[in-house]
Amino acid sequence: MNSARPVFRFAPSPNGYLHQGHALSAILNFETAKRLGGRFLLRIEDIDVGRSRPEFEQAIYEDLRWLGLSWEEPVRRQSEHFDDYRAALSRLNAKGVLYRCFCSRGDIARTIGDRRDWPRDPDDAPLYPRTCRGLSKDESDARAQRDPFCLRLDMERALALVGTSLTWREFGEGDEASLVAAEPARWGDVMLARKDIPASYHIAVVTDDAIQGVTDVMRGRDLYHATSVHRVLQALLDLPQPNYRHHWLVLDADGRKLSKSTFAKSVRSLREQGASAQEVRSITQLPRLATRAD
């Protein structure tokens, strides 16, 4: 294997059928990898075992093949690698940057109350009020015996370790990189393991990109700000720093991002309505409607 070849990946979550936005991301990854003489991987992001379904996973393979894409085997399925995410979390724990959080959504909402000026993260969710950061080790150990908990990153401590001048190389849709200043503090104490699932999107994606030798993370602009969290985790865990290529989003008629919850057309329904793969692929030629992250 030639390590100088760039490595791209498309990483869908099998909790619905692929829609046009996924098709765009998959095709852009595949085509950019090809253009740069690189490799193309497919990763199934199924840590949310409650929402993931085998039929959606099978549909991902079918739809991508129909679109004319091929990828390296074996495909990495995150649900088979919880040990890797646990190992990453225990390395973070050894650095003193994790803490247990016992709060429910209701607890958090009550703590914040009706304060309208409460800071919000880039996804517009209120920042966690750090209630459980104040628990002593004994209190936390005792509660862990009886109550479920999630694990949060102590962002302040993390930034004290890795510094506040993290950056990433952003290519957007082009061939030239600019350096972007990460702003992880905007996310507060993000969750790295859920109460019901021993990992979160952030820890799984960073771990897998490193294990799979991904050199170029190409994904939609909706994940642009999440990259700030990923850079902190990479720095804490001494993981290599990939290039980032956040691409435009396919928007619906009202200018909203297509998602499974809106009326995004699935690749499968377009096919059933008689669209050719070439027609669906032509989505990459559409006017670039959304090029800004915020």
The site for ligand GLU (CB under 6 A) is made up of 11-13, 45, 205, 219, 223
Closer to ligand GLU by CB, 41 or 132: give it: 41
Phi first, then psi: give them for residue 247, nearest 5 degrees.
-105, 165
Shortest distance, position 6 Cβ to ligand GLU, whole Å: 16
Least Cα distance to 127 among 186, 208, 204, 46 occurs for 186
Compute the least distance from the CB of residue 206 to ligand GLU, in Å. Answer: 9
Q: Between 26 and 132, name the residue whose CB sits nearer to ligand GLU.
A: 26
Closer of 13 and 215 to ligand GLU (Cβ): 13
How many C-beta neighbours within 10 Å does residue 164 have?
Answer: 12
Give min distance, CB of 205 to ligand GLU, in A.
5
152 or 245: CB nearest ligand GLU: 245
Q: Which is nearer to ligand GLU, 11 or 182 (CB)?
A: 11
Q: Where are the alpha helices (DSSP H) in the chain?
A: 20-35, 54-66, 82-94, 105-112, 137-146, 155-162, 201-211, 226-236, 267-272, 277-281
Neighbour count for residue 282 (Cβ, 10 Å): 12
Residue 132 or residue 203: which is nearer to ligand GLU going by CB?
A: 203
Q: d(Cα 168, Cα 244) in Å, to the nearest integer?
A: 7
Residue in 183, 89, 185 with CA at minimum distance from that of residue 128: 185
Shortest CB 291 distance to ligand GLU, Å: 18
Q: For residues 205 and 284, give the distance between their C-alpha atoms in angstroms, rounded to a whole number.
A: 25
Q: Which is nearer to ligand GLU, 18 or 132 (CB)?
A: 18
CA distances in angstroms from 118 to 21, 111, 128, 287, listed in the order given? 32, 11, 10, 37
Query: Nearest distance from residue 63's CB to ligand GLU, in Å?
Result: 14
Is residue 250 within 8 Å of residue 21, measured between CB atoms? yes
Nearer residue to ligand GLU within complex by CB, 219 or 231: 219
35: CB partners within 8 A, 6+ apart = none
DSSP 223: G
Minimum separation from the CB atom of position 17 to ligand GLU (A): 12
Q: What is the CA radius of gyration of the chain?
A: 20
Spatial distance between the Cα atoms of 99 and 151, rounded to a whole number of angstroms:
6
For the CB of residue 219, give the shortest distance to ligand GLU in the complex, in Å. 4
Q: How far apart (Å, rounded) are the C-alpha atoms in residues 180 and 243?
A: 11
Smallest distance, ligand GLU to C-beta of residue 167, A: 18
